[in-house]
Chains A and B, each alone.
Chain A
Amino acid sequence: MNKHREALTGYLFIAPLFLGLAVLFLYAFGQNIFLSFNDVGVFGERTFVGLENFRELLQDPVFKRALGNTFFYTGLGVPLIVSISICLAWLLNQKIKGQVFYRTAIFIPAITLPAAIGLLWRWLYNSQYGLINFLLAKVGIEPRAWISDPDIVRWSILIVLVWASVSYMVIILLAGLQRISSVYYDAAQIDGANTRQIFFKITLPLLSPTIFFVTIVSMIGTLQIFDLIFLMIRADTVAYQYANSLVTYFYEAAFGLNLRGYGAAISVVSLILIFLITYVQFRLQKRWVHYD
């Protein structure tokens, strides 16, 4: 009887969170999957169409470009985020002058709203009046249309994506580094290992669980990239078409073109993609992640 009461108390404690989760997430999640099999009008009128939305996606050139762009951001972004974060975390873990200042400076993007980041970089990138082109002109480099030239807009987004993501990952990796016992380093030094050997043979393997976590989180985040593209580039411009991702295309389809069912189908494809990639990552972790 006491066990039942304890269980009931426990459920009551988690009830507020679970209710919120059920209403705002589970219900919306289920409804989204249901809508992907329907043609949904502007104001909610529905017609069941089965797999028609998914068949259209396979032939949609805009969807294919959005998918390609998403793989671009993830395929290049994640390795850059992880490798830069590891390097910065390792540097911040050394006993250097101004360590507190550097840690604070690197952490600032992590506590800045994505909207602020997007708007700030939108002005930095401005081809006529932005700071970046101004500084480049000072050293004789020709200015570029960073966010309005369709040929380079993806790279511009990638730079901001990496910049904005690194700081949060550095904090996590720094915590991971500080968990590594100094006993291993002392033993390695006694054995005559140099800095490079210590980093690759001791630090990285022991940091691998944290690296795995950072890789998963970065991958999921970049596969869902939306706010930077939406805030930095005008939606009715050519550059937006060349920079769009799965999530921005979902937004355009669902709310711009009022094709809610089609948009739901895009989000379902995105979900399956994220699930598959994450599943593969978890299966592969046995080969390189070393847990205590």
Chain B
Amino acid sequence: MVKKFLAAFFVSALALTLGPIAPSSAKEKEITLALWDEVQKPIIQQSIDKFNKKFKGKYKASIAQTPWGEFWTKLDATMPTRSTPDVTWMNVFLPKYANGKVLEPLGPYIKKDKKLKMNQYVPGRVAAFNYNNEQWALPKGMDAVFVAYNKEIFDKYKVSYPRANWDRKSLQAITKLLRTKMDAAGATSEYPLAMELDLQPSTANFLAQDGADFVTLDKKKTLAGTPTGIATFQYVVDLMDSRRMAPYTVLSETKASDLFISGKAAIIFVGSWKAKILENSSLGKAKKIGLVQQPKGKIHNYSVAGGLGYAMAKNSQNKAGAWELIKYLTGRQSMTNEALNGIEFPARPDAQRAYARGFENIDPQVILAATRTAVPYPHNGNPASLLPLQNAIALAYSGKAPVAETIRAGAAATQKLIDELNK
């Protein structure tokens, strides 16, 4: 009798644990927004809180933040399932998800919604999320890359600050002078220059500035393996070899922005998504950070510009709520708040004016100028196809293999994969 009772108890306990798996029958429908940036999260949470207040009793939104390194892995695993986030940040990887039929086309929603005017967004950013004649996301913002320099280090070694309209020759001269003075002072763990190893705030810009795009605008070719492209990589490797840039081993262990903020790097190439980190750093608060455009390469000094959008999952269990959330987050109020807090340069002209007001310690005009001349971030939307070239770049930067051969081989392997995709 006791055994039967215990057996019945444990089976009941098992049944109860299955309870939470059953769909919620609560009146408020839950909506999840997936994003990766921990700096942006608290600001976007403010918009989420206002959305929840506005739609109280109808929808309840929440943020699911996953660090960048694991974000896409998690998204790939959840999007084909009912556990998918309803709304997700989207970037240049859009074609992969659109082709995989895991995104909800927004065209019908836009057409049906008489209040939404697409001309309230920057046209280029709307176009960035239009693929195969379908609109897949509403634009959130745009980013650009610029140069930040540590005035304290320049003052300490009595070197003149970088000037606007400088070029790579000036960069070479400044970094050489800084290296000489750093070595004379015994500062072997300080570096004149640092960059992130991610492509967007570094290599993709250098290649574009030399006319050797990482991926061409038509997404059909990579020019990284051309003589011009190889020369660009050699320029970076020479900077590392001469210790004018922090070596690959240091950059692969410590982020360039951390090196900069802790006074170990005098100059960094940095993306506008880190602008708030610079603004709020102790160096920033001491007004010791200067900003300047990137030095001119062979052709120009334009930044590559990315930008995020909000997309809806095809398997979302609450598409009406997801659409309301997307509209709200790309609305003027939310975008103005993001701009005021300096986390994003909005894709809405009527919110862009607030961006400059969000900075007291660094000059936002440099960032705004970079966005005005920026070129689209070079990507074909299929990260796996670009991996051989990215691995080749890492190997070349590490100094473990000759630059020309390695880049040529990586570019050829990537071109083969791109050609297969375009068949």
Q: Are B96 and A238 in contact (CB under 8 A)?
A: no
Would A16 and B400 be within 8 Å (CB), given that A9-B3, A43-B80 are in contact? no
**Which stretch from A113-121, A147-155, A281-289 is at the chain B interface?**
A147-155
In the complex, residue of chain A having the shortest beta-carbon distance to the beta carbon of B17: A16
Binary contact track A187-208/B, C-beta < 8 Å → 1, others 0? 0000000000000000000000
A22 within 8 A of B: no
Find chain A residues with CB under 8 A from B69 CB.
235
- In the complex, which residues of chain B have a beta carbon less than 8 angstroms from the beta carbon of A43? 76, 79-80, 100-102
Determine whether the beta carbon of B6 is less than 8 Å from that of A147: no
* Interface locus among B122-130, B161-169, B236-244, B383-391: B383-391
**CB-contacts of B249-275 with A (<8 A):** 249-250, 252-254, 264
Q: In the assembled complex, which residues on chain A have CB atoms less than 8 Å from the CB atom of B198?
A: 236
Contacts A42-B96, A150-B400, A239-B252 given; indicate if A9 touches B76 (C-beta within 8 A). no
Query: Do the beta carbons of A241 and B391 come within 8 Å of each other?
Result: yes
Interface pair B197/A236, CB less than 8 Å apart: yes
Interface status of B395 (Cβ within 8 A of chain A): yes
- In angstroms, Cα B80 to Cα A258, docked, is 14
Cα(A11)–Cα(B170), bound, Å: 78
- Decide yes or no whether B117 CB sits under 8 A from chain A: no
Q: State which residues 1-43 of B face A: CB under 8 Å.
A: 3-4, 6-8, 10-11, 13-14
Chain A positions 34 through 53: 1 when the CB is less than 8 Å from some CB of chain B, otherwise 0? 00000001111000000000
Most buried by A among B13, B197, B253: B253
**Distance (Å) between the CB of A56 and the closest chain B CB?**
15
Q: Is the CB of A147 within 8 A of B79?
A: no
> Interface size class for chain B?
35 or more
Q: Using Cβ atoms and an 8 Å threshold, which residues of chain B touch A237?
A: 197, 252, 394, 398
B77, CB-defined interface residue at 8 Å: yes
Contacts of B4 in A (CB 8 A): 9
Tell whether B422 is near chain A: CB-to-CB under 8 Å.
Answer: no
Is A42 a contact partner of B10 (Cβ separation < 8 A)?
Answer: no
Determine whether the beta carbon of A129 is less than 8 Å from that of B7: no
13 pairs of residues in contact across A and B, judged by CB atoms under 8 Å: A43-B79, A43-B102, A126-B253, A129-B254, A145-B250, A145-B253, A148-B250, A234-B197, A238-B394, A255-B73, A257-B384, A257-B387, A259-B384
Query: In the complex, given contacts A128-B264, A150-B400, A237-B197, what are 15 additional A-B residue pairs having Cβ atoms less than 8 angstroms apart?
Result: A6-B3, A12-B7, A16-B14, A41-B100, A42-B76, A43-B80, A148-B250, A148-B253, A236-B197, A236-B198, A237-B252, A238-B252, A241-B391, A256-B387, A257-B384
Binding site for B on A (CB under 8 A): 6, 9, 12-13, 15-16, 19, 41-44, 122, 126-129, 145, 147-150, 234-239, 241, 255-259
